Amino acid sequence: MKTLTISAVSAALLLAGAAAHAQGSPMNYQPSPYLGGDVLFWELDQDSGRDFDSTGLRLRGGVAFNDYFALEGHLGTGGSDGNVELDYLAGAYAKGIVPIAPEFRLYGLAGFTEVDMDVGDESGFSYGAGAEFDVAPNLAVGADYMRYLDESNYTFDAASVGVTFRF
């Protein structure tokens, strides 16, 4: 059921992105795919009881439809702290981009994520923000902070640092 939810949200985001591209993009702008890899510093913060944190890996991929809008997906895994291990996280997000300079961008992400850990799996609304700096024409370094889950008795957050290659 949760995989179906992620698939439905992904399809809706793709349709919204295509509509935004058709309505607001210059005719000469070509969608630009990108792929990134990050070190993921995650934390499970429980309202009652022990907090857990560890380090994993995250793969990101997306398509920038113009300088201001992209659709992005995350796949992450790894790391354990005691009885809690991150099996995987998977999500789809709309990405709003604010170009500060030709080589520097700030961005915000909003979408849905499914997180599977040894203590259970949940899915829900996710959001975050980050920054990216170009170090070469098709290569950027960046960092972001995501609130992947915000449940009534815990939150699951992650800070990430990594590289992005634009095709």
Looking at the 3D structure of the chain, how many domains does it have?
1
Do 82 and 50 meet the contact criterion of CB atoms below 8 Å apart?
yes
pLDDT at 118: 86
Residue 140 pLDDT:
98
Instruction: State the Cα–Cα distance between residues 93 and 72, nearest whole angstrom.
Output: 5
CATH number of the domain where residue 132 is located: 2.40.160.20
DSSP letter, residue 164: E
Q: Each residue's pLDDT tens digit in the chain (167 positions)?
A: 454 444 444 444 444 444 444 444 445 678 999 999 999 999 999 888 789 999 999 999 999 999 999 999 999 999 998 889 999 999 999 999 999 999 999 999 999 999 999 888 999 999 999 999 999 999 999 999 999 999 989 999 999 999 999 99
Say what the pTM is.
Answer: 0.81
pLDDT at residue 30, rounded to an integer: 87
* Structural domain boundaries enclosing 63: 2-166
What pLDDT is stored for residue 11 in this prediction? 45
